[in-house]
């Protein structure tokens, strides 16, 4: 028999009495053996799980299968129900009343289908018309682009050629083309004499054809500046402010050397204005030039006249002789001046003829004149200082051709070979313009049948 547990025995009523302290006695607890905790094992740390991608909530569909709009869309209310009254925002929402789904008849479905079909058909037609219009416009634009591009390129080329044409500064003159044989000859001579800086401009007055080699480059003018001074003098004669027979007194301040004979006359010697300008051109007298500059009002007034004539590179900065080369001009400017003289635009015809006659008496015949043949005539003005030699003139050939040639050569000091270069260029130009022009054959006269019949008819009448 197992031993009885003393704590399970029924106690007597006397044992249930409270002790004097008034506290109930607590029976002793059953001793509990200490629990040994199991050994803790570290769980492996799993990598963080990526939360599943939330699916985009699909909008609810109505009974016909059409998707409803978002939150802001009004819910479809069954027929026969009243809209909910506006109440307090804190009140709980009442669940919607369940209604039986409306019955969809085949006629309603057919009507909806036809409406959508018509709507989509109209949209496709509008889209097709729009695409057709866009395609037609695109094709027409592509087809017109080559012609417009070609015409625009042609206009641009014409404008560019006109703006870059060497003769754009010469008004009322045919803008011809380069004379290729002469242009090639000038280039060959420039390569043959590389130690010189060459400037050439040649102009055929009949056709406007030209040769241009550094024509717009400004060179030291030397005595070629006396040619525009001569033109300004005759302008004053035409205006009546200067008389050809008036007396000019040579003052000591204007007497210089290097060229001319007036320097050997005593100060106070008197010369007529015509005699002074003749000495300025014919023997290139520097003293006579300074007297004319003084009589015409000085350098500033002359430079203003040069600018009015369109001489962009011509400037009188120093009196003569200008050994430093401060006075400037260019082959194009000298050519332009001779073109204006040839037309009689700067002076009267009488003054023009007298002026060209004076320029035809230049005694220096070592430059352009040396390249001309027998029977040719020239009105020109030479220039010669230590660093430059130049000549510019209006040439008439025995064949009736008239051309202008201006050549300027910057050289080493007093290099005499530069003169030979000008002579060769003048010779090449003269030979080109002196070629015989074939005459038309006038031995055979074509038979004019119509005219013969008319004469016969008039004779019979």
Residue 33 lies in a domain: no
- State the pLDDT at residue 387: 96
Q: Same structural domain for residues 253 and 363?
A: yes
Residue 281 lies in a domain: yes
For residue 407, the cross-strand partners are: 200, 391
Asked if residue 405 lies in contact with residue 246, where contact means CB atoms within 8 angstroms, the answer is no
Q: Same structural domain for residues 214 and 336?
A: yes
Give the residue with greater pLDDT, 103 vs 380. Answer: 380
pLDDT at 208 over 70: yes
Residue 355 lies in a domain: yes
Residue 398 lies in a domain: yes
Q: Give residue 73's pLDDT band: very low, low, confident or very high (50, 70, 90).
A: very low
Q: Same structural domain for residues 263 and 360?
A: yes
Q: Give residue 226's pLDDT band: very low, low, confident or very high (50, 70, 90).
A: very high
Q: What is the mean pLDDT of residues 52-70?
A: 55
For residue 67, the cross-strand partners are: 61
For residue 132, the cross-strand partners are: none
Domain count, the chain: 2
Residue 65 lies in a domain: no
Q: Same structural domain for residues 128 and 210?
A: no
Nearest CA among 258, 351, 255, 259 for reference residue 271? 255
CATH number at residue 361: 3.40.710.10
Q: Same structural domain for residues 123 and 209?
A: no
Q: In what order do the strands lie in the sheet with 210-213?
A: 210-213, 197-204, 402-410, 388-396, 377-385
Residue 343 lies in a domain: yes
Residue 381 lies in a domain: yes
Domain termination residue (choose one: 101, 136, 164): 164
Q: Same structural domain for residues 217 and 147?
A: no
* Predicted confidence (pLDDT) per residue in 242-286, tens digit: 999 999 999 999 999 888 999 999 999 999 999 999 999 999 999
The separation between the first and the last C-alpha atoms of the chain, rounded to the nearest angstrom, is 187
Q: What is the mean pLDDT of residues 114-123?
A: 82
Q: Same structural domain for residues 303 and 335?
A: yes
263 vs 249: CA distance, rounded Å: 13
Q: Same structural domain for residues 319 and 424?
A: yes
Q: Same structural domain for residues 199 and 134?
A: no
Q: Same structural domain for residues 157 and 296?
A: no
Domain residues for the domain of 385 are 180-433
pTM for the model: 0.63
Nearest CA among 343, 331, 377 for reference residue 357? 377
Q: Same structural domain for residues 146 and 259?
A: no
Q: Same structural domain for residues 373 and 415?
A: yes
Residue 89 lies in a domain: no
- State the pLDDT at residue 227: 98
pLDDT at 99 over 70: no
Burial profile 359-384: b = 16 or more Cβ within 10 angstroms, e = fewer: beebebebbbbebbeeebebbbbbbb
């Amino acid at each position: 028999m197992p031993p009885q547990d003393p704590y399970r025995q029924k106690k007597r009523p006397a044992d249930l009495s409270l002790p004097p302290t008034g506290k109930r006695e607590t029976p002793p607890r059953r001793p509990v053996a200490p629990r040994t905790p199991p050994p803790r094992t570290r769980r492996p740390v799993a990598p963080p799980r990526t939360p599943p991608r939330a699916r985009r909530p699909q909008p609810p569909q109505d009974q016909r299968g059409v998707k409803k709009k978002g939150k802001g869309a009004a819910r479809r209310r069954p027929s026969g129900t009243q809209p909910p009254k506006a109440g307090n925002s804190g009140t709980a929402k009442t669940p919607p009343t369940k209604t039986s789904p409306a019955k969809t008849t085949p006629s309603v479905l057919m009507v909806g289908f036809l409406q959508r079909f018509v709507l989509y058909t109209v949209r496709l037609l509008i889209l097709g018309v729009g695409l057709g219009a866009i395609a037609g416009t695109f094709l027409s634009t592509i087809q017109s682009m080559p012609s417009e591009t070609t015409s625009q390129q042609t206009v641009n080329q014409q404008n560019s050629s006109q703006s870059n044409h060497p003769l754009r500064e010469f008004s009322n003159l045919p803008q011809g083309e380069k004379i290729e044989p002469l242009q090639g000859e000038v280039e060959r001579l420039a390569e043959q004499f590389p130690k010189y800086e060459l400037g050439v401009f040649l102009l055929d007055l009949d056709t406007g054809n030209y040769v241009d080699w550094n024509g717009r480059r400004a060179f030291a003018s030397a005595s070629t500046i006396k040619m525009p001074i001569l033109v300004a003098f005759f302008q004053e004669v035409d205006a009546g402010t200067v008389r050809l027979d008036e007396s000019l007194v040579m003052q000591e301040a204007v007497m210089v050397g290097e060229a001319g004979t007036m320097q050997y006359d005593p100060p106070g010697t008197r010369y007529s204005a015509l005699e002074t300008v003749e000495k300025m051109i014919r023997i290139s007298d520097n003293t006579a030039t300074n007297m004319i500059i003084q009589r015409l009002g000085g350098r500033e007034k002359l430079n203003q006249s040069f600018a009015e004539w369109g001489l962009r590179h011509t400037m009188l900065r120093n009196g003569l002789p200008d050994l430093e080369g401060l006075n400037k001009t260019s082959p194009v400017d000298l050519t332009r001046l001779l073109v204006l003289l040839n037309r009689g635009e700067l002076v009267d015809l009488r003054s023009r003829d007298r002026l060209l006659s004076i320029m035809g008496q230049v005694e220096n015949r070592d430059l352009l004149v040396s390249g001309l043949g027998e029977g040719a005539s020239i009105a020109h003005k030479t220039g010669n200082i230590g660093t430059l030699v130049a000549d510019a003139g209006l040439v008439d050939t025995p064949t009736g051709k008239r051309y202008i040639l201006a050549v300027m050569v910057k050289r080493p000091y007093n290099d005499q070979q530069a003169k030979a270069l000008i002579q060769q260029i003048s010779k090449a130009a003269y030979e080109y313009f002196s070629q015989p022009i074939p005459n038309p054959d006038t031995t055979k006269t074509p038979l004019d049948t119509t005219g013969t019949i008319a004469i016969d008819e008039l004779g019979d009448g």
